[in-house]
Structure 1
Amino acid sequence: MSNLTKNNKTTIQITITIIVIAGGLFAYLNWYVAPDEVTERVKMIANTPDGCIAESSDGFSVNIGPCDAEPGEFIIGTYDAKIKERRALMNPTT
């Protein structure tokens, strides 16, 4: 086998490896890291400088961002639904 053929095979293998790794990273980012936003009616718990804390329909407290609602009010809020999954991964005892 000539050196040119060996170099071409090596270059193709490296290129395929890079494409597979990049594709895997892209899939990981889209599946696990990208937010899954949900908009629903939530009950306000507190209004903090970091945003409004509300209780979702399944009882989780979520940050819905800045708002002007008072605690106890029901408003429509958008939050990241994957926060519950991430919270469970960080605290497996619950």
Structure 2
Amino acid sequence: MSAIPNRKVRKSSNYKNHFIVAGILAGIGLALLAYLMFYVAPVETLETVKVVAVTSQGCIGETLDGYAVNIGNCNAEPGDFISALVDQKLKERAALMNPTN
């Protein structure tokens, strides 16, 4: 006889715990996907911008409300007004990082 009593080891094929863990991981994955789709995906609108500079990476424009944006390749000179796609979420993030008040 030993000092440790013989206990039967329970071998259960309880899949309930596996489904709970898989459900939690799937929920986390869906939450991350929703974050990527809603907060990170661009929302581009067509705006009139004033070309400030022409660089090797594209034209830098300033929107009418004062945000600097890279509008890509363009055939304009500094001082010209052109229509370009501007990411609205980029403007929102810039406003949060640089409060005016």
TM-score in same-fold range (> 0.5): yes
TM-score by length of 1: 0.83
Deviation (angstroms), 1:93: 6.8
Q: Please, which runs of 5 or more residues in structure 1 have no aligned partner?
A: none
Residue in structure 1 matching 2:71, options 44, 64, 77: 64
Whole-angstrom distance in 1 between the partners of 2:48 and 2:19: 53
- Percent of aligned pairs with the same amino acid: 49
Query: For residues 31 and 99 of structure 2, what CA distance do their matches in structure 1 show?
Result: 27
Residues 1-94 of structure 1 mapped to structure 2, 5 A cutoff: 3-4=12-13, 7-92=14-99
What TM-score, normalized by structure 2, do the two folds share? 0.78
- For 1:52, the aligned partner's letter is C
> Greater CA radius of gyration, 1 or 2?
2
Pick the structure with more helix per residue. 1
Cα-Cα RMSD: 1.8
Residues 92, 55 of structure 1: CA spacing in aligned structure 2 closer, same or farther, 3 A cutoff? closer
- Residue-pair matches, total: 91
